[in-house]
Amino acid sequence: MRTKIALGMLTIYLVWGSTYLAIRFGIETIPPFLLASCRFFTAGTILFLLRWHAGDPLPSKRQWLSAAGIELLMLLCGNGLITWSELRIDSGIAALLGGTVPIWMVLIDTAFLKKNKPNQQKMLGLIVGF
């Protein structure tokens, strides 16, 4: 079981870490938001087909609209903006900035929402993850 977990984590590190480098090469020939859109469309299609093949029911109209809204925000405010920023900054800097997102989420949650005070385990996870 530990071997599977280690291989899974290694895969995440390699795939996620190489994303920023792949963006760097991709934006040399494809406009940033088109590149991000193509990546999202491809990933979404693959996940949709896998779940459909597994027997999950088709999403309702409301679920499609909700997913489209979230996707638009992710494209314009998340990955699309990172892709666009790599026109101006190195992919390593973009990766470092992207790596701070979980830290910001914990800080915002603690400072404004006051729902989950970070404990030692959460802080260790943030440090190791970064």
pLDDT tens, 46-78? Answer: 999 999 999 999 999 999 999 899 888 888 888
Per-residue 3-state assignment (H helix, E strand, C coil) for the chain:
CHHHHHHHHHHHHHHHHHHHHHHHHHCCCCCHHHHHHHHHHHHHHHHHHHHHHCCCCCCCHHHHHHHHHHHHHHHHHHHHHHHHHCCCCCHHHHHHHHHCHHHHHHHHHHHHHCCCCCCHHHHHHHHHHC
What pLDDT score was predicted for residue 105?
Answer: 85
What pLDDT score was predicted for residue 96?
Answer: 85
30-47: average pLDDT: 91
Indicate if 79 and 107 belong to the same structural domain: no
Is 95 part of any domain?
Answer: no
96-116: average pLDDT: 83
Indicate if 28 and 85 belong to the same structural domain: yes
Indicate if 20 and 57 belong to the same structural domain: yes
pTM: 0.72
Indicate if 18 and 60 belong to the same structural domain: yes
